[in-house]
Amino acid sequence: MPHISNAVLLAGLAIAGGAAAQTPPQDDPYAWLEDVSGAKSLDWVKARNAKAEADIASSAPFKTLEAQIRASLDSTAKIPGVEKIGAYYYNFWKDAQHQRGLWRRTTLDEYRKPEPAWETVLDLDALNTAEGTQWVWHGANCLRPKYQRCLIALSPGGSDADVTREFDLTTKQFVQDGFFRPEAKGGLGWIDENTVYVFTDFGAGTLTSSGYPRMVKQWTRGTPLASAKLVYAGKPDDMYISALHDDTPGFERDFISRTLAFYNDELYLRGANGQLTKVDAPNSAQKAVHKDWLLLELREPYTAGGKTYAAGALIATHFDAFMAGKRDFSVLFAPTDHAALASYAWTKDHLILNVMDHVKNRLSVFTPGKQGWGSTAFVGAPGIGTVGVSPVDPDDSNALWLTSTDFLSPTTLSIVDVGNAPEVLKSNPVFFDGSLDVIEQHFATSKDGTQVPYFLVRPKDLKFDGKTPTLLYGYGGFEISLTPSYSGAIGKGWLEKGGVYVLANIRGGGEYGPRWHQAALKANRHKAYEDFAAIADDLVARKITSPKHLGTMGGSNGGLLMGNMLTQYPEKFGAIVVQVPLLDMKRYNHLLAGASWMAEYGNPDTSDWDFIQTFSPYHLFDASKDYPPTLFTTSTKDDRVHPAHARKMMAKMEAAGKNVRYYENIEGGHGGAANNAQAAHMSALAYTFLWQQLTK
């Protein structure tokens, strides 16, 4: 295990969770749609699905596009991403013959070949047939050094709630009477062969108000889950409690994480006697422990040892010395007005920093030594596009996986030993003809004067007459950065048809580090929407498009963004697709995982409602106003963002006679689809709808 951090402990936290909804308000005529699987609600869903299918999916262009997207998703020529587990390299693979997926393995020598020989470890489609289930893969955690036993997480239908089952890599079978965690939000993690940490739903009072685990326990093989020993219990209004054993040889440690809210957590070292000692770093900092080192990724200024370190900096110190009270840090990265830390990765001897400079990746190598940290350039990194690195085996080698991509260049995977030139191993197929397009980066001026970057992909021979169908995509939340990537769906659904595609880097995201995110929190949420509107205006000013031909799309927090474009800036768009959205911001914190997002949006049950109501689309809707044609999409199985957000907004707009459509996938969870067929169908609905509306 390379390092343990609060980010690792909470891996997937931003995409999991869910508490039971409180009683819906009596004054909401559509509150009955909050009954996720009630017969009345599902009958309503099926009727609207049928209408959307008839309006959008019945055409020949839709069927062609759906088949093209499905072919790109099912392509057997795609790069099979791998993870080293013991002596083998494991991959989870889905295609037309394996819709739910295969967990398989090979050797590195085989993997280097154009057509590796794979050994199937677990066939999810066969398992579903045998068990009469619809499992969706959620990952595996395998115990070293033997790498014989794994804890496999499986979700029913794609929901974030899942089960954990013990699996034997030697027999390739689930272990009879092995560790088993029943369906819930939470996790199971190895301590040793006969002991695990378990954080899950233990019954009444054991979940936080966000629907996440409030307790972590230590569980011994052969004993009932009910007898597991309590390790730590958080408070009901905490967000998430978890634990993890770091099994790095020579640095074995146990940690407990208490998350109060996003970017607000406490990390504790658990001693052999069970005593917890706090890692006394700022709650807002991302804390990571790797062998000798403690790394802090700061989100606020931090004063320690007589020095002040800037928000956005990455600083390092010896972990044991820090726990003993010393505060001597080395600055590995300091932010600038245009550069922010995107990520970092450890190899055996080096730390690789990935920095975004105006949303463009740059890599560098840091090496700890007796004289401090040395820094060198990373050899062979691509000069353009989105670049990512991850360790092959961080404990035993300095090898890295290196990926690179952009809007028009299929992803390439290389393996590289630090200091040497990369060796290209795999490239994704070309799924569309991008030879007629060009990529540009521009900056729009927001209402308060802030320069907001965006990427644009356009035909080289664009006429600049304001008539080109243009799709503007955005997110703008939770410090998540949007960077260029290759998509067969966008290529076939938009670019090959002559459309323009735009990716917005608005505030609320992480493109310029914590400051970019914090600039659009809570009462300043409007700045994200002003940024997005400014990009729309800039596209029109450049005569790339016009409101009649400009469409927009986004999901989750991006769905909230779309709801605000719809209700606050309807005159700027010719069509809008709103995916798995938050829309009822008065109720959001009482629906599923909503309470965990109050650090982002505020608490509508307090005076925060004064500003939250200014960006609550469900309340901003005005039946007397004109709105562009709109498509809402969501999933019944989404136990993260409640489908009632989309359902209720659809019902309200439909009752007002607006041009609106709705499609709810029964499976799929927050991602919207449980397999490639569903994903292709959902994508084809969105792109076909937009093209229909913007080319009228």
**Residues involved in catalysis:** 556, 670
Render 444-481 in DSSP notation, one character per residue.
Answer: EE-TTS-EEEEEEEEETT---SS-S-EEEE----TT--
**Sheet strands side by side (includes 500-504):** 437-445, 451-459, 500-504, 470-473, 550-555, 575-579, 630-635, 660-665
What is the token pair recorded at 283?
């709650």
What is the token pair recorded at 386?
């989105």
Alpha-helical runs (H) found in 257-388: 319-323
The whole-angstrom separation of Cα 663 and Cα 686 is 10
- 422 contact partners, CB below 8 Å, separation of at least 6: 380, 381, 402, 414, 415, 416
The residue with tokens 């006969």 is 194
What is the token pair recorded at 462?
């664009």
The whole-angstrom separation of Cα 460 and Cα 446 is 27
Cβ atoms of residues 387 and 363 within 8 Å: yes
Cβ atoms of residues 425 and 411 within 8 Å: no
Amino acid in the structure at residue 40: K
Cβ atoms of residues 253 and 4 within 8 Å: yes
The whole-angstrom separation of Cα 363 and Cα 382 is 9
Amino acid in the structure at residue 293: W
Backbone angles phi, psi at 297, to 5 degrees: -100, 105
β-bridge partners, 232: 216
> DSSP state, 503?
E
Alpha-helical runs (H) found in 75-212: 108-111, 124-131
Cβ atoms of residues 685 and 49 within 8 Å: no
> Taken in order 278, 279, 285, 288, is the CA torsion positive or negative?
negative
Q: Which helix (H) or strand (E) segment is 304 a member of? A: strand 302-304
Closest to 527 in 3D by CA, of 466, 587, 450, 642: 450
- 207 contact partners, CB below 8 Å, separation of at least 6: 19, 185, 201, 213, 214
Amino acid in the structure at residue 75: S
Cβ atoms of residues 151 and 189 within 8 Å: yes
The whole-angstrom separation of Cα 638 and Cα 655 is 25
- 31 contact partners, CB below 8 Å, separation of at least 6: 24, 25, 648
Closest to 555 in 3D by CA, of 633, 620, 649, 472: 633
What is the token pair recorded at 635?
């999933």
Amino acid in the structure at residue 646: A
- 639 contact partners, CB below 8 Å, separation of at least 6: 17, 18, 159, 160, 161, 185, 592, 593, 669, 670
